[in-house]
Amino acid sequence: MPRFDDLDRLEVLTVITGRLVNETPFRVGVGREPPLGSGVDLVPITIRFVDGRSVPYIPGSSMKGVLRSLAEAMVRAQGKDDVHSPLDFEKIEEEAKNGNYCIICGTFGSTKLASHIRIYDAYPETDALTFVKTSVGINREFRGVDPGILYTEQQVVPHVRWSFRMDVINIRVFPEPQDERGKLLRSLIGMLVDGMVQVGARRTLGYGRLRLEKGSYRVYGVEGGRLVKKAEGDVV
Ligand SMILES: [Zn+2]
């Protein structure tokens, strides 16, 4: 059983890069909003000013939150490991005391353990056009459309290309995974390639579906105090 609290020394670094394409529109978030679904719906995609222009981007923390939820669902489906909430501080404290972390914390981190993965903010590689859509609200009390409730939302058009980079520290994922966490990360990257990952609000309506194109990996190891490339290839 590998120890998961091994981030005091770098042994292997895997850098996964590629291009994300949003197959469906993205809703643009405006600061902190009330969650429409789970907690990871918060601020799916945000505007940042770069060179005086406003540019939408997908925060790496949102991507990581979505991948963590997917990983939890997969582990739960396998029935192999207890999955606890990322806010179950009692369990997190217990894991830290025993030095025995679950596969999810051992990958994504917890308040007591640094994360083994890092996902960078994804910026558009081409112009990310946005449009404003006006919708008719739903009257919650009567469960029907209510023409009196109109709201507008800003959306990013489909098929925008976004830069993608994810670093994996001390978990071997490619060319072959070497533990359960590596296998889990391989599955998650496979889901991204297959266009099965959704980020952001309104996922039940199909919004924010991402596909990873041209995904490739580079694996580095430490030799004589410096990083040396050990392997590279395509993620599929
Ligand atoms: Zn845990």
Distance 100 CA to ligand 1 centre (A): 9
Tokens read off for 54? 């406003």
Report which of residues 23 and 129 the model is more confident about: 23
Distance 186 CA to ligand 1 centre (A): 20
Distance 39 CA to ligand 1 centre (A): 18
Q: Give the alpha-carbon dihedral of 81, 83, 88, 89, to 10 degrees.
A: 30
Q: Which residue has the tokens 């978990």?
A: 171
Continuous segment of H or E residues that includes residue 152: strand 144-156
User: For residue 58, what pLDDT band results from cuts at 50, 70 and 90?
Assistant: confident
Tokens read off for 123? 């910026």
Give mean pLDDT, residues 201-211. Answer: 79
Report which of residues 5 and 90 the model is more confident about: 90
> What pTM was estimated for this model as a whole?
0.83
Report which of residues 208 and 38 the model is more confident about: 208
Enumerate helices (H) and strands (E) in the chain, giving the number of each: 4, 11
User: What letter does residue 1 receive in the DSSP assignment?
Assistant: -
Distance 127 CA to ligand 1 centre (A): 40
Residues with Cβ < 8 Å from 30, sequence gap 6 or more? 154
- The count of other CB atoms within 10 Å of the CB of residue 102 is 19
Q: Report the distance separating Cα 188 and Cα 177, nearest Å.
A: 13
User: For residue 142, what pLDDT band results from cuts at 50, 70 and 90?
Assistant: low
Distance 81 CA to ligand 1 centre (A): 10
**Is residue 34 pLDDT above 90, yes or no?**
no
Amino acid in the structure at residue 38: S
Q: Give the alpha-carbon dihedral of 70, 72, 74, 78, to 10 degrees.
A: -170
